[in-house]
A and B are shown apart, each in its own frame.
Chain A
Amino acid sequence: QQPVQSPQAVILREGEDAVINCSSSKALYSVHWYRQKHGEAPVFLMILLKGGEQKGHEKISASFNEKKQQSSLYLTASQLSYSGTYFCGTSGQGAQKLVFGQGTRLTINP
């Protein structure tokens, strides 16, 4: 089952904050977040693992609620470069196959 992302689209002014949610009906072992700009490859942002471990390399934070099978991505003090479509990909234990949500389109205006 494909995870459900919300909202589908959001428009912000530079400097504002955004939260993007990802919900699954299946038990999750890991949640992977990517950002994709138009015509480009998805760029890795962060992995959240069952048990609380978090791996990432950008100034973006996220949470993983195992009980609710949900993850949220937090973008604070947004910059113009944050514009793009954000995807969450989920996987079960032992399976690297990622099932992606439909994406959240984020537009940052000056």
Chain B
Amino acid sequence: EVQLVQSGAEVKKPGESLTISCKGSGYSFPSYWIGWVRQMPGKGLEWMGTINPRDSDTRYSLSLQGQVTMSVDRSISTAYLQWTSLKASDTGMYFCARRQEVVSTTGAFWRSFDLWGPGTLVTVSS
């Protein structure tokens, strides 16, 4: 089965570090960029960034750059999202997603997130 499996819910205190994971299976993990999307409680979706599993090339949201780090371990088909010092405002649901790229006969291409993980709930509270 083609799927993304995410690590379980976390409860942390402000200032603590955290790494959550996203494991791909049923497809060629290196062939698709992985994206991360945040959803704060009761709010909409926020694109955080994407990472290329082949070479760890990354793109970060300007508002989140420096706040989180994306990484991958190709040997175990797993992507990671890491915080070194959590804040209460980091509380939310974090989704990983596979980036689909469809290429036309003319060379035009379109990208989207075609496969999503179930999400990891992160709660940061003192």
Is B one of A's binding partners?
A: no
Residues on B lying within 8 angstroms of A by beta carbon are none
Q: List residues of A whose CB falls within 8 A of some B CB.
A: none
